[in-house]
Chain A
């Protein structure tokens, strides 16, 4: 009996959390589209999330592209299909690796700092202070961050796409002696518009998830330094899991039956 109770309680708790999160997300989104807006804060967040993440995204996708060429080459050369390397690389980078890896890196970099910042504001009563100063904290703190996340992730991933493919090109031409013009041509020929667009759409969703998790956990943190620490961890872990989960769902949506 006790065992069943535990399962039941855990399950109910899970459902309650899902409900709270959904309401939080709905309220946050509704504040994104209703005035007053805070363009100054959105801009600052875009710089914070987008511009300062460029080195991380660049390095991540560069090395991913490079290693991908090596591995793909090893695989396809067993049945003499070396010509497919450029195709596989561009497909993997634009559809999957650039959005997912960029999402995970940004979840670590941005989601954590958001949760820590908002969490600290919560425990030092700054969020209460906002309310007493005629400012809705959901509108002032949460909405601009979510907006910035959704806006800035697609261009970041596009840059990641380019750098990733370029990394592959470097290894293919300098190490594996591919013909540079031929490699670029087959990359270009095989790449489809939908590959890139689906990756960018994923990026926008991931941007939403990362910022939502950072804000939600920070906003609901309690109990001083330890609470803020837990909020940070939860923000990163939940954002990462959700990214991987939604990545599958979105891929299914975009490419089902193809």
Chain B
């Protein structure tokens, strides 16, 4: 970690839904230009963490800072301003099916009135080319695309506004291994081209190894281990070892046996 202000800093984050505690004192920093991947099983609070940063969920207590400024309980205007720094690739793509592909990609730009519709289309086609999609795709509807193509359009949309921070929510889930690798390559390439900070959540270890500078493991609402991606195999942490090797037996007891 660097001495300068981290891009994102979460301190002692708590969130519970009724009696179910999801985040239980989560601490994590993401440095400028760094790519951090949070790994962890289903239901350990990975998505909740991302949604808290985006302001879609409000943490019960704790602090989230973006560029050194608190983003918890801020008003709508400040939130809009902060969210302009963000780009997000959703798990299912979350493309707007009422709009053609190019309008999906240019949506953020058009919403912020950063360009006219004509320019927006041009930029959209450019971004689509960046993720390896031919221009004719621009006029299709998202429902006409395959899962992998939808993910790529989602990626194009996430990078369209040249965000400072890009979030990836399980970018490879539901894709075949080859397409998953294509997406991983694109993520690495796009993040580098845009020069963005990246925070991803995944349970796909191949993907984590490929896109991460640093990996953090989330378990029971806390970060139990973090370190450079190269050291994940020598973490010395039995939870991490069990997770990355995918063993059913180990310190992490699955809910079925609880």
List A residues at the B interface (Cβ < 8 Å): 121, 124-126, 128-136
Contacts and interface: CB of A to CB of B under 8 A. Distances in A.
Contact of B111 (A124, A128, A135): A135
B80 A129 contact: no
Nearest to B81: A134
B51 interface: yes
A134 B111 contact: yes
B72 to A, nearest CB: 16
Interface in B96-145: 96-97, 107-108, 111-112
Interface stretch (B1-9, B84-92, B179-187, B194-202): B84-92
Contacts, number: 47
A132 B94 CA distance: 11
Given A134-B80, A134-B112, A129 B90 contact: yes
B54 A125 contact: no
27 contacts: A121-B96, A124-B92, A124-B94, A125-B91, A125-B92, A126-B95, A126-B97, A128-B51, A128-B54, A128-B94, A129-B96, A130-B96, A131-B54, A131-B55, A131-B56, A132-B86, A132-B88, A132-B108, A133-B107, A133-B111, A133-B157, A133-B161, A134-B80, A134-B83, A134-B108, A134-B111, A135-B107
A30 B239 CA distance: 50
Contacts of B112: 134
A125 B94 contact: yes
A151 B115 CA distance: 31
B35 to A, nearest CB: 19
B135 to A, nearest CB: 22
Contacts of A135: 107-108, 111
Contacts of B107: 133, 135
B42 to A, nearest CB: 16
A130 B92 CA distance: 14
Interface residues of B, number: 24
B93 to A, nearest CB: 8
B83 A131 contact: yes
Interface string B158-174: 00010000000000000
A136 B75 CA distance: 13
Contacts of A130: 96
Given A125-B92, A125-B94, A133 B55 contact: no
Instruction: Tell me which of A126, A129, A131, A136 has the highest count of chain B C-beta atoms within 10 A of its own C-beta.
Output: A129
B113 to A, nearest CB: 8
B88 to A, nearest CB: 4
A55 B47 CA distance: 46
Interface in B2-38: none
A125 B90 contact: yes
A148 B189 CA distance: 44
A131 B111 CA distance: 11
A132 B83 contact: yes
4 nearest A-B residue pairs (beta carbon): A133-B108, A129-B94, A125-B94, A132-B88
B197 to A, nearest CB: 15
Contacts of A136: 76
A134 B94 contact: no
A121 B99 CA distance: 13
